[in-house]
Structure 1
Amino acid sequence: MYEAILTLCLAAAGQEVCRDTLLPGYEAETEDACTAQLAARPPAADRAPLVARGAPRCAPAGPALAVTEIAPGVFVHVGAIAEPDAANGGDVANLGFVIGEAGVAAIDAGSTRAVAEGLWRAIRARTDLPVSHLVLTHMHPDHVLGAPLFTEAGAQVAGHAGLDRALADRGATYLESLARLVGPQAALGSGVVAVDLPVEGMGEIDLGGRVLALRAWPPAHTGTDLTATDPQTGTVFAGDLVFDRHAPALDGSLRGWQAVLETMRAEPHDRVVPGHGAATLDWPDGAAPLVRYLDRLAADTRAALDAGERLSEAVDHVAADEAPHWQLFEAYNPRNATVAFTELEWE
């Protein structure tokens, strides 16, 4: 398989940083066929703020992300349980896609365009149907900053009705942090995209013979959480409303998250794809560790407040007995305790 690539560069910190980037939609079995497609449909020339070095060209396809088919036509890539860094290139979130009869929906886009390119190749290895939709489950950078690859391919972006505003507020900070964590070359081409299909309450996208049900939730893990359900297989892409092994991250409302999980656990799904951890979890049992953690976080925070502790004192011990059950616990639990303390002190 051949694909089209273009060398893109960006002036950063006084030097030019370049990376060969995938141009989606020109895949072909032979180099000549790929080149013919480039000639018939020249890609857009304006890549600001990036600058092209040379012309688009065809080359053997690069590496695809490893994916598992967890149900017929439903695929998941498992990201590393780690903070983004140069070694993992930002591949730290679970991503997926669902194949219908007329199109494909990608679920989340990863931290970088490079990660999204790997997901694109995984899709192309299994179908040549158009990627008609990209569903973004929430605003965090490890799930959204690879999105430009998919919008360039013509995908419509579905997300929570509040996602545009959240990314407008945080996007620049996310991109600065990404370049620092994974390096400017690995981050090149990543960015924030606009939501085409904002969801407030319930929505759906039709992939042809397969309709995905979208649901925007009240503030929970974040203020922009959205789930995508495939009724055909009983599969729910939960984003970071569900964590497995990776320490949970609270960036919304503790009480809201507990309420959302209570609602979700009452629903008869066959399996749930968490935002981090295993490719799939049985439901509702798969949520039990997260529910236990949030309950402990709430109970310890309330106890600290009742004892008259200050925030600086509480963060050292709130939910500390949960540490053996979660990876990256020290990176996330103090932040969670801070958010919980700030929310619950006003009860």
Structure 2
Amino acid sequence: MFEAFAVVCALVSAPLDGSPSAPEICRTALFPGHAAQSLAGCEKGALSKPPQWPGLVIGEPFCRSRPTSSLDFDEVAPGLFVHRGEIAEVGPDNLGDIANLAFIVGKDRIAVVDAGGSRQIGEQVYLAIRQRSELPISHLILTHMHPDHVFGAEVFREAGAQIIGQQNLPRALSERAESYQASFTRLIGEPGMFGSRIVAPDHTVEDRETIDLGGRQIELRAWPTAHTVTDLTVFDRKTETLLAGDLLFDQHTPALDGSVKGWRHVLQELMAIKADRVVPGHGGPVLPWPQGGLPLERYLSVLEEDTRAALEKGVPLSAATETIGRSEANRWQLFELYNPRNATAAYTELEWD
């Protein structure tokens, strides 16, 4: 098979002081949607609809044999493939590859769950899918708004997928797009973020919906505010597998960007779901269920109880963040990065409770 590519370069402005310009930054980008058995067939499609990326210089598309993906996906259940993201902070070495990503193969079509933290990661997910199947990629399901899950989404829109998210996702992404773009460009670097941009979902879920992939149904469920205000889960009926997104963390310190009380309530409902296994948003990549939820349940309980104790004693926020959740420090990775933020969020939520 042949795929379409183009050389993409950043627009570099000449310095006003007359000093030498910075070197031009370019990369070869994959453009899905033009795959063909023959080189001529791929070129015909790519040249008839060249890519458009605002703010970048794009060369004439060309085609070449499909490369192998740099991402590993494990088949954790029949037809269900999961990539385990790094438990690390976003940076130039991982290009935002820090979240678990998945795809589900039905008889007629494929659904992808989350798209990675940059366009480059999205391209590699696409290639990993194509190593296993040529079926249409019909849906990309975004489990929530965080940038490590959404920046690769446009790749799948170009491949023909409908992008789906929870009902609050369009507004949440619109409000945060600029800050997400700035922070990930700073962390990953401009070369790694070429072409990565936030795109709105095509369809939103208010409660529950079912997608038929052909002999395989997956159930989508929107949740009230918990990890974020945009949480959505996927349940694969065929294999009894729950894909929980960041409503479930394993090894990686949980990140609270919603409501600690809401998250505890939602987690109880999740743990009542009868499933053979669960795929968390980080860690794993597959855990038994509901046992896999117990560490997060304990952490959220400690977070809330410690926060309430600090508030009752009148401990100011600056001091409380040093003690809230501290007993969990040896149980989670990246604890010093995320727990102070969680303590701040919990304190702010509960101080007027």
Q: 1:3: which partner in 2? A: 3
Count residues with an aligned counterpart: 344
Residues 27 and 328 (structure 1 numbering): CA distance in 2 closer, same or farther, change over 3 Å? same
Measured after TM superposition, the shift of residue 13 of structure 1 is 7.4
The CA deviation at 1:318 is: 0.4
Deviations 1:262-296 (A, max 9, x none): 01111111111000001111000001111000000
Residues 5-51 of structure 1: per-residue CA shift (max 9 Å, x gap) = 1111222676442211111133456xxx1342221453334332322
What residue number does 2:25 align with? 17
Name the CA distance, whole Å, in 2 between partners of 1:40 and 1:181: 35
Rounded to whole Å, the distance in 1 between the matches of 2:225 and 2:283 is 22
What are the equivalent positions in structure 2 for 1:110-121 lying under 5 Å apart?
110-121=116-127
Name the structure 1 match of 2:139: 133
What SS does the corresponding residue of 1:23 show, helix, strand or coil? strand
For 1:163, which of 166, 169, 177 is the aligned residue?
169
- Structure 1 window deviating more from structure 2 (254-263 vs 264-273): it is 264-273
Spell out the pairing of 1:102-117 with structure 2 (5 A cutoff): 102-117=108-123
Deviations 1:70-115 (A, max 9, x none): 1111000001000110111211110000011111001000000110
Q: Which of 322, 325, 329 is residue 316 of structure 1 equivalent to?
A: 322
Paired amino acid for 2:185 = A
Distance apart, 1:56 and its partner CA: 2.6
Structure 2: any 5+ residue segments left out of the alignment?
15-21
Q: TM-score, normalised by structure 2?
A: 0.94
- Provide structure 1 residue ranges, at least 5 long, that are not aligned to the other structure: none
- Within 5 A, what are the aligned runs for 1:141-290? 141-290=147-296
Instruction: Tell me, yes or no, if structure 1 residue 34 matches structure 2 residue 39.
Output: yes
Cα pair 1:148 1:189 within 8 Å, conserved: no
Provide the C-alpha distance between the structure 1 equivalents of 2:263 and 2:282, rounded to a whole number of angstroms.
16
* 8 A Cα contact 1:86 1:181, kept in partner: yes
Query: Partners of 1:137 and 1:111 in 2: how far apart?
Result: 13
Shift of residue 328, structure 1, vs aligned partner: 0.3
Q: Which position in structure 2 is the counterpart of 1:52? A: 58
Q: TM-score, normalised by structure 1?
A: 0.96
| Runs of 4 or more consecutive aligned structure 1 residues displaced over 4 Å after TM superposition | 12-15
Contact 1:134 1:156 survives alignment (8 Å): yes
Partner of 2:17: none
Establish whether residue 304 from structure 1 lines up as the match of residue 323 from structure 2. Answer: no
Identity among equivalent positions (%) equals 49
The answer (yes or no) to whether the contact 1:12–1:184 under 8 Å persists in 2 is: no
Judge conservation of contact 1:4–1:34 (CA < 8 Å) in 2.
no
- Distance in 2 (alpha carbons) for counterparts of 1:216 and 1:157: 15
